[in-house]
Amino acid sequence: MTAFRMLARDWRGGELGVLLAALVIAVAIVAGISAFTSRLQNSLEQESHQFLAADRVLSSSSDFDPAWQQRASSMGLQLARTLSFPSMVYAGEADMYLAAVKAVSAAYPLRGDLVKSAQPFGELDRVSRGPVRGEVWMDSRLFPLLEVEIGDRVTIGKATFEVTAAVRSEPDQSSSFFGFGPRVLMHYEDIPATAVVQPGSRVEYRLLLAGSEVELEKYVEWLEPQLAGGQRLLDVQNSQQNIGQALQRAEQFLLLAGSLGVVLAGIAIALAARRFSERHYDYVAIMKSLGATSATINRLYGSSLLLLGGSATVLGCSLGWAMQASFFSLFAPALPITPGDSGLRPYLVGAATAMVCLLSFAWPPLQRLGKVSPLRVLRRDMPEEGRHTLIDCGIGLAAITLLMLWYSADWKLTLAVLAGLLSSASLAAVCALLLLRGGRLAGMRAGSIWRLALAGLQRRSGANTLQVVIFSMAIMLLLILALVRTSLIEEWQMQLPEGTPNHFLINIAPQEVNQVRESLTRRAVLSQPLYPMVRGRITQVNGAALGRSDDPEESRRERETNLTWSAELPAGNELVAGEWWDGETTEALVSIEEGMAERMQIAVGDSVTYKIGSRELQVTVSSIRELDWESMQPNFFMVFPPAALQGFPATFMTSFHLDSGDKQFLNQFIRQFPTVTVVEMDVVINQVRAIISQVSAAIELVLVVILVAGALVLIAGVQASVDSRLYESAILRALGARRQLILGGLVIEFAALGFFAGLLATIGAEVSVSILQTQVLDMDYTPHPLLWLVGPVVGVLIIGVLGVWNCRQVVSSPPLAVLREL
Amino acid sequence: MIKTENLLKRVPIADGELEILKGIDLEIKGSETVAIVGASGSGKSTLLGLLAGLDEASAGKVWVDGVELGGLDEDARARLRADKVGFVFQSFQLLPSLTALENVMLPLELRGEADAEPLAANFLRRVGLADRVTHYPRQLSGGEQQRVAIARAFAAQPMILFADEPTGNLDTETGAHIADLLFEINREQGTTLVLVTHEQRLAARCDRRLRLHGGELVGSD
């Protein structure tokens, strides 16, 4: 008999449904998520490279060795150059303003687009090249300040340029905008004509590189040893930490979800294969009595499994492809970027997963079929072949570990999930046994339906314990995913809720504070207080002078930063050490941001000396604060009590939200307060929000797929017990039990299993989520009281419905037919 | 054809061992029909299992067609069964996912017969089920299922046929028909028939009867 014919016969007999479905789901999850994440990663990487305008950037305060560019060109890398410097921009005789000039070469930007508008604050227009020679693009707010319009001429140094557009955003717009004036964008080759860049000028040269990752790595390897102090290489990770962190978390989540999906599918495969194998004991015994050898049996089932694996791979890969393709086609119009290509790898990974799943989950029970005794044909009451549950679990666990390690390439994540799974499984096994015993004792005193149901639970306590463990694992994994997903998305969205301040005002003079507040309040756009800002530099800690190195790698050095004062702890700040002061205090105190305190090795109680202007101020550190740097709120490293900074020259800053339709307000505002600097962050915020919504949607989709895998585990788990339930119910019905009694018993039995599983899942999920969020995903953890209600209820509902549905034949099949067939 | 020498079968029980067969010596010649009779628990089915090589003896020897089974492992015994042995069981033992035709083809396929299908169809015709070849066991009556089992047993043209209570699950009339069919084809093929039964009438149709009591052979007539 060929394997193909046996499979066809088993398929007709309905034996293969769950096994094939579980395999298809495993392959589809792996291929789908893998294709999805690699396409998403490709596109997100493209997107994040846009924040750098390149794949790598070399930054320097002096011009580069020309050999570096030659080397990069000879390696086939794309190159662009920029030069940033502050300079006065003149319009006619009277109007001038200090601007942040950026000269860009013709190839700039290598990644992403420039956004300009034909008129200041006008309609946005994406372009891939900067201004041509002889032209400049200016920040919208410079137009009213210089009283120029499009087509007018402005002067930088010795050269005059025509203003042809308003520059609205650059892909590599730095977040460190403080201290810089409004942007003027010009062509790189116009620099000599201006004659403003002289030796010793405060400038930043950037060499932008793009190309294949392999070549880039080679180039970086060659370049790094030659870098001098003040020269730095930037990549996506260190240039945009906010985006980098969000992306990394999204990737970790998808990997975690994918791995858990495979765990679930693996369990479903193992359960279905075990049931398939147990139902084939009699077949094998008959075949053996008719002369089939163990080798024949193994060959037969082995090739059946291979055929099954082949079909599952084709079906699963197609399903995986369809899932990610339909996601991208549904969401593509809303995505800010074009999804990349996934290549063949995801489908190879899917095929390999199918083989690993078959060998480690399905083959162990099937392989034992070869050892079935032919004597079963005469004695059906012969004990079944040893189930070797422990060995099977061991093999399955090893396979899961390898698969997870392979998918995630992250042993920490793998170990965290495995440790969670193992400890919860063992705990669940012990608790399930105890709960089932307790249930039986309670049932002794109950009515007949309850007694029947709870006796059923007790009688199959071994199998039921296993089922409770499996159900609780499946529910736990789903709860974990749902919780982590919710808090991940909520945390992102909380960072940038609707109405997030998207414009910053800095350099507000003290005498302008009231007028500015009034002007913003009148427009009803002000949501933040006006914060005072004093520029100061730390010079000593505990009397020891700090180095004056400009090297940012040097952690303990003099640094100029913005100081502010406040009577209360600013919103969104959290004390991690020390105490907040009384607002009226006259003591010389300071509260320092956690990261900075760490870098500069400052602790509560230390004395810190600042140089503000030409004066010195010595204060004692009274507290350390944690800030949320990913929020778009004004944040300060150093906060003083109001009295401590009295008498020092301060300017004020604030932030507010302005809808894109209200941009004309800025024209009027800038005319009214020409010395106030307006920084527009709305374009950047919109980009960030687009990425977040894309990743959130991806996570939702992945969760749905995992839910299907979870449901399959539950179905496979329930089906594993259908035969013995059928047999028992047939006997009971033959003895005169009514359908209602048996159905009631089933409902109570499955509901009890569901309740125990839901309860254990809740405990496991709460513990795992706290570990995952604090240790792996680097997020804050808060308990979920609602979960303690949702978990058990979900358990009762899901297991109850699935269990009774899958066992419906128990009450619908005629008892005689059941007794004859079994 | 079949010979045993001091055949013993013990099984472990809670407090020691239970001896099911206590030193059986017998000999069955080629083409002979032999009934093994005895009360429930006398060891009939155990003896049948040992003679057919489905089980291993605790002590003693069994020869089938001159081959001593004790020297063979399970796979070698399976090959011997494929070549020389056929079975008819009380509970029919048809594979539920296979049609009547496929069930009859199974031993032929296991033996690597090229024309398994026409041979099987032929035997189904022989047992009067020509119009039921595509039916599944659940679509057949008990008597019909046993006829498929008889067709399956004889299709492989075994030297020895072991029948374990072949009419035990059938009513008297159907049982009688099945017994007629069994003896008829057996005679045509000249097969050695070893039959385990409770039924005196069925046992009476055999050349010889071996009586088992408490695991011992207490008589032969």
Query: What domains are there in chain A, each with its CATH number?
Result: 1-51+243-409 (no CATH), 52-239 (no CATH), 411-500+682-822 (no CATH), 528-656 (2.40.70)
Which of A609-613, A629-633, B216-220 is the least confident region? A629-633
B26-46: average pLDDT: 90
CB contact under 8 A, B98 and A292: no
Higher-confidence residue of A390 and B135: namely B135
A163/A105 Cα distance (integer angstroms): 18
**Predicted pLDDT of residue A138:** 93
The answer to whether A65 and A228 have CB atoms below 8 angstroms apart is no
Candidates B64, B79, B80, B98, partner chain A, best to mutate (most A CBs within 10 A): B98
Q: CA end-to-end span of chain B, whole Å?
A: 19
The confidence band for A185, taking pLDDT boundaries of 50, 70 and 90, is very high
Of B5, B18, B47, the C-alpha closest to B162 is B47
Distance between CA A220 and CA A211 in Å, rounded?
Answer: 12
Q: From residue B104, how far is each of A1, A240, A424, B136, B143 by CA, in Å?
A: 12, 73, 51, 12, 16
Residue corresponding to tokens 């905008």? A177
Min Cα distance B29 → chain A (Å) is 22
Checking if the pLDDT of B8 tops 60, the result is: yes
pLDDT at A765 over 90: no
Q: Report chain B residues whose CB lies below 8 A from the CB of A1.
A: 105-106, 109-110
Domains and CATH numbers, chain B: 2-220 (3.40.50.300)
CA distance A821 to A730: 11
Is there a contact between A293 and B78 if contact means CB atoms under 8 Å apart? yes
Sign of the four-CA dihedral A391, A392, A395, A397: negative
pLDDT of A630 strictly over 70: no
Burial A279-302 (b: 16+ CB within 10 A, else e): ebbbbbbbbbbbbbbbebbbebbb
Inform me whether the pLDDT recorded for A410 exceeds 80.
no
Cis peptide, bond prior to residue A109, ω within 30 of zero: yes
pLDDT more than 90, % of chain A: 10
DSSP letters along A243-303, please?
A: HHHHHHHHHHHHHHHHHHHHHHHHHHHHHHHHHHHHHHHHHHHHHHHTT--HHHHHHHHHH
Residue A304 confidence class, pLDDT cut points 50, 70, 90: confident
Q: Find residues 118-147 of chain B whose CB sits inside 8 Å of chain A.
A: 138
Report the pLDDT value the prediction gives residue A176, as an integer from 0 to 100. Answer: 41
Query: Which residues lie below 8 Å from residue A390, measured CB to CB, with a gap of 6+?
Result: none
Cα within 13 Å of Cα(A159), Cβ side? 19
B78:A374 CB<8 A: yes
A196 SS3 class? coil
CA dist., res. B200 & res. B184, Å (int):
19
Tell me which residue in B55, B78, B105 faces A291 most closely, judged by beta carbons.
B78
Distance in angstroms (rounded) separating the CA atoms of residues A270 and A366: 10
Q: Which residues in A have their CB inside 8 Å of a CB on B?
A: 1, 9-10, 12-13, 15, 282-283, 286-296, 373-375, 377-380, 817, 821
Mean of all residue pLDDT scores within chain A: 79
Nearest chain A residue (CA) to B48: A378
- Over range A795-817, report the average pLDDT: 78
pLDDT (average), residues A535-554: 73
The one-character DSSP state at B207 is S
Contact B95 A293 (CB under 8 A): no
Residue type, A337: I
Residue A308 contacts residue A20 (beta carbons within 8 Å): yes
Q: In chain B, what residues touch A15 (CB-CB under 8 Å)?
A: 97
In chain A, residues with a C-beta closer than 8 Å to the C-beta of B55 are 373, 375
Residue A49: the pLDDT is: 61
The predicted structure's pLDDT at residue A177: 40
Cβ(B209)–Cβ(B220) below 8 Å: yes
A153-157, A659-663, A695-699 — which one is most confidently predicted on average?
A153-157
- Euclidean distance between CA atoms A41 and A369, whole angstroms: 45
Contact A15 B107 (CB under 8 A): no
Find residues 65-94 of chain B whose CB sits inside 8 Å of chain A: 74-75, 78-83, 85, 87, 89, 91, 93
Query: Residue A32 is encoded by which pair of tokens?
Result: 């789908």
Q: What is the pLDDT of residue A179?
A: 44
pLDDT classification of A493: cutoffs 50, 70, 90? low
Per-residue confidence (pLDDT) for residue A263, from 0 to 100? 79
Q: Rounded to an integer, what distance in angstroms lies between the CA atom of residue A236 and that of residue A251?
A: 15
A11-52 pLDDT tens trace: 766 667 777 887 887 788 788 877 877 776 666 666 666 667
pLDDT digits (tens, 9 = 90+) for A562-598: 888 888 888 778 888 899 988 888 888 999 988 888 8
DSSP state of A362: I
CA distance A561 to A590: 14
Which candidate from A293, A296, A375 shows the least CB-CB separation from B49? A375
- Residue type present at position B166: P
Tokens of A669: 């505002």
- The band of A245, judged by pLDDT with boundaries at 50, 70 and 90, is low
Task: Assess whether pLDDT exceeds 90 at residue A186.
Answer: yes
CA angle A310, A314, A318 (to 5 degrees): 165
